[in-house]
Structure 1
Amino acid sequence: MNDSRDPILVQLVSKGIDVGQLQSFIADPDVGAHGWFHGVTRRRTGDKITQILSYEAHESMAISELNRLAREATERFELTRLVIVHRLGIVPVGEASVVIGCSSPHRKQVFAALPWLMDHLKQDVPIWKQETFVDGSSEWVHR
């Protein structure tokens, strides 16, 4: 179990996301549900093959907004612990660009919290994604 008093961990990272470390953050012997979402770079988008996927952010604003969302989700869904980690820079195919994990006494809260968090992260947080395809074309993707 994590001894940290703050039940929320929000990070922007430039390297691979260590899910094992995040699992220990949400561990709590008094809860019965852990829920996870791993958003990974897919190889195919429609009929295009992704060569490179990269993310940029207005980092201070992104951290602030992620913390706001995390606090709101913790209250709204009665979460005991919540972690949101988003990767910046190049994220190779098959690797996670975002990982969200949460715990609560019962499964319904974590099942409800994960899509709510992803929807609001994509809508509200100043993080932008650029896809470069094997044919040399690229595009900024509206999240």
Structure 2
Amino acid sequence: MRLLPVLLLALTACAACTTSAPKFVDADPCSLLRSGDVGELKGTPARSGQACDFTFDSLTAELTLREAAFADESQKLLADGGYGGAIAGGEGESNNRPLTTRCTDSSGVVTCDAVLEVRDRQLVGIQVVQRSTDRNVVGQVMQTLAAKAFERLPK
């Protein structure tokens, strides 16, 4: 009979010791981009809730983690001249993650906004602003940042 309480105590202790993997909502958006991703990071990224502002050599980026329907967020970008794409999501084409991007330029400054679906109702939003006259180049930089952020998110 003494064995049962000891066994129960041991099982309870083991259950308390297990740690669950970090979840999307617990992810620190400032940990998802790093110096070297698209140039040297200047200063410390500034966090505000689930958003983080980064300043690299020649551009600024804001990364936001949010829970929303990808179709709704994507449609906002598509309706204003955006286009669809994908980020490689691991092994096989079936794991690619949808990405919608819209880039605009104004007086030699290109702004690209994008939304990446990580999982159902889990999105990464990115805005990149860079002095440039080539939307395609800035769009590619934004896609690089989206891929880096996706790689570093808790799975």
**TM-score tier (shorter):** 0.3 to 0.5
Structure with larger RCO (C-alpha < 8 A, sep 6+): 1
| Largest Rg, 1 or 2 | 2
Task: Give the structure with the larger strand fraction.
Answer: 1
TM-score normalized by the length of structure 2: 0.32
TM, length-normalised to structure 1: 0.34
